[in-house]
Homo-oligomer: A and B are copies of this chain.
Amino acid sequence: MRRGIYQPLLLNEDRYFDPDPSVRFVARTLYEETRELPLICPHGHVDPALLADNSPFPEPTALLIIPDHYIFRMLYSRGVPLESLGIPARDETPVESDPRKIWQTFAEHYYLFRGTPTGAWLDHELHDLFDVTVKLDGGSADYVYDQIAERLAQPEFRPRALFDRFNIEVLATTDKASDRLDAHRSIRDGDWNGRVIPTFRPDAVFRIASADWRAELDLLSDSHGKPIADFPSLIAAIEERRRYFKSFGAAATDHAVVEPYTARLAPNDAQEIFRRALNGDATPADQTRFEAHMLIEMARMSVDDGLVMQIHPGAHRDHNHVVAERFGPDKGADIPVATEYTRNLSALLNAYGNDPRLTLVVFTLDESAYSRELAPLAGHYPAMRLGPPWWFHDSIEGMTRYRHQVTETAGVYNTAGFNDDTRAFCSIPARHDLSRRVDANYLAGLVARHIIDIEDARALARAMAYELARDTYRLASPPEAKTFHAPATMGSR
């Protein structure tokens, strides 16, 4: 291993822009108008305890590698054992515990990320946050490790300081229905002004055929403070928990399902299925019908309480049983499946899709649905917006395909704006920056082809970078609340 001979890490100011000068010039102009806008983070997975505790981050490996399945699944795919990356095993399997050794393994395989968004985010994070100026590889591993570790020890690198430095206007976490939101309470009651809000995610109590279900229901019952002995008391508990989340500023709910199937159950059927679940007799078919009904119930409640409803369908979870059994869920083995929306969402949209009090943000891992189903649905139903490119598609090419395949049918204003969807707090600025660059470049392409003019592009760039996320999730602070499509500001700037 050569050490001491480093390649420079350079972040070009025009990165991700088309090289054609007429596109690049406009892209740069548009990006300059959005790059400093505050970050709206309406959907993500940052642990709120991070900001409640405000403890220093640990050393680089524990911060950047061990918790990030985007990173370790790629090394695993090329034969690097998860054990050697220090991923904690549920069983007795010993795993590497030397952070420098793990970091070295990571650095030696960092070339696998060439051309990937993870590579782009990490380079940005290393360069702009940690002031690293050399390319990461086997030779520079130690040098880079030391540089990051040195920065992490400084008070300016505490979570709250970074939150402020990142210019985050609001950060939504994702929390179980039974969560007591202690970290959110601590933040709210403290003297720091950062806006950190919970998101209500009740999936676990809808999965009535799952082995964990009863325990999850008991947790919900405990938080709720009342027994949940029948379907009406479940509904009452959920309604109460939503109010509780709202009291902590929650703006949205979130729902992960394999298929976005929606169908109303007759009241007796809902009660009967729930009874079977309480007896431990619910079948997968019961769960399918139950989840389909509960999605419609969630829309009904959103009409009442104003929480924005998000659906994230299409992930086949824990595809790799060997990995899931040894290392647990969320270890990079969630694989998408083809997802149908037109028929599946029909019952929900017919029930509440015409009601302007509902905002339903729909995501996909199946890009073939963008132009076929999702843009036509979002381009018709007042309640529906299309969520930004999700997960594997939260990338330069993925975002570009999304805009190309969605805009002509749904327009820009039926999309929900960007969210970073990350548990990697330090990567948040890199993710927003990449998104703003790619959107600026998309719009510059429209300008260069004379599809829109520069004035329209400027309005759209601001909407895509900031306003759409803020307004879709109803996150504007009351005094300055404006809907983005008021004619005076949008239609005739």
Contacts and interface: CB of A to CB of B under 8 A. Distances in A.
Contacts of A205: none
A452 B114 contact: yes
Interface string A364-403: 0111100111011111111010000000110111100100
Q: Which residue, of A353, A398, A409, A446, has the highest number of chain B Cβ atoms within 10 A?
A: A409
Contacts of A22: 19
B491 A10 contact: no
Contact of A116 (B138, B382, B408, B450): B408
Given A18-B449, A372-B365, A408-B396, A109 B491 contact: yes
Interface stretch (A42-50, A207-215, A482-490): A482-490
A227 interface: no
Interface string A268-311: 00000000000000000000000000000000000000000000
Interface stretch (A144-152, A167-175, A331-339): A331-339
A367 B213 CA distance: 38
Contacts of A137: 487, 491-492
B365 A392 contact: no
A398 B392 contact: no
Interface string A109-145: 1111111110010000000000000000111100000
Contacts of A90: none
For chain A, the bracket of interface size reads 35 or more
Interface stretch (A57-65, A71-79, A158-166, A417-425): A71-79
A382 B78 contact: yes
A404 interface: yes
A461 B73 CA distance: 24
Interface in A184-225: none
Nearest to A346: B319
A412 B376 contact: no
Contacts of A409: 116, 392, 395
B380 A115 contact: no
Contact of A335 (B321, B323, B342, B456): B342
A15 interface: yes
Contacts of A490: 111
Contact of A392 (B139, B408, B448): B408
Nearest to A80: B382
Interface in A1-33: 1-2, 7, 10-12, 14-20, 22-23
Nearest to A408: B395
A2 B492 contact: yes
A122 to B, nearest CB: 13
A340 interface: yes
A77 B408 contact: no
Given A10-B453, A114-B412, A336-B376, 6 more contacts: A1-B488, A16-B451, A77-B382, A79-B485, A108-B491, A333-B380
16 contacts: A16-B451, A17-B449, A19-B22, A77-B382, A78-B414, A108-B492, A110-B491, A114-B452, A115-B407, A116-B407, A320-B350, A335-B373, A366-B372, A367-B372, A395-B408, A401-B405
